[in-house]
Structure 1
């Protein structure tokens, strides 16, 4: 599934994403990820900085779910797809690594990359937009800033 301009925009605006995986005993695991971006037309890549459980789970079950939102606007996306662990011997590693190193500035070492080929997309929207249809993004941002103590 091709990533839209809107999805890419929300990835760029999101500080963290949350990656959900499942263990061999069917135990769910959700892990925050800081270094992630889109890659090509249909994939998300994530630097595996401190992710041993995530990597282990993906090697067992490649089905994953990733979510990210703009915390002030309180909108974003949930994407589902198949994940692959990319190692330095993979032909794609160098190109992916270059994109992620721009984000880490070399401060966070990583040996592998999770690549998620997106198969399903669902919008995430704060309930306030649905319960109060006159809610604007500007009003939501002001409300979020007040809640989080941001001037």
Structure 2
């Protein structure tokens, strides 16, 4: 599945994402991730900084779900797909590392990268947009700023 411009823009304006994995025994795990980006037209890449459970789960069960939102607009996406742990020895690692290091300014060391091949996407939209269809993003941003004390 190709990542649309809207999905890529949402990734660029999201501070965190949440990666859901599951062990071979189907025990779920959700972990916040701070350093992530898109890679090409069909993949998401995430730095593994302190995520031993995530890495273990992906090695046992490649099915994952990632969610991210712009906290002020309260819009984002849920993406599903299959994940693979990219080790430093992989030819892809250095290309991905260059992209992700720009986001970290080199401040976060990482030994592996999670690469997700996206197969499905759906928007995440705050209920206010549906309950009050005239709600604009500007109004939602102002409302969120007020709620968060920004």
Task: Tell me the TM-score normalised to structure 2 length.
Answer: 0.99
- Secondary structure of the residue aligned to 2:107 is coil
| 2:63 counterpart residue number | 63
Query: Structure 1 stretches of 5 or more lacking a match?
Result: none
| 1:16 counterpart residue number | 16
Which 4+ residue blocks in structure 1 deviate beyond 3 angstroms? none
Cα offset for 1:106?
A: 1.2
CA distance in 2, matches of 1:73, 1:67: 15
| 1:101 counterpart residue number | 101
Matched, 1:53 2:62: no
| 1:34 counterpart residue number | 34
Matched, 1:127 2:96: no
Note the aligned Cα RMSD (angstroms): 0.5
Matched, 1:73 2:79: no
| 1:138 counterpart residue number | 138
Task: Note the alpha carbon deviations across 1:127-146, whole angstroms, 9 max, x for none.
Answer: 00001111111110000000
CA distance in 2, matches of 1:80, 1:90: 24
Cα offset for 1:44?
A: 0.2
Cα offset for 1:46?
A: 0.3
- Secondary structure of the residue aligned to 1:142 is helix
Task: Tell me the TM-score normalised to structure 1 length.
Answer: 0.98
What is the aligned residue count?
150
Task: Note the alpha carbon deviations across 1:95-122, whole angstroms, 9 max, x for none.
Answer: 0001111111111100000000000000
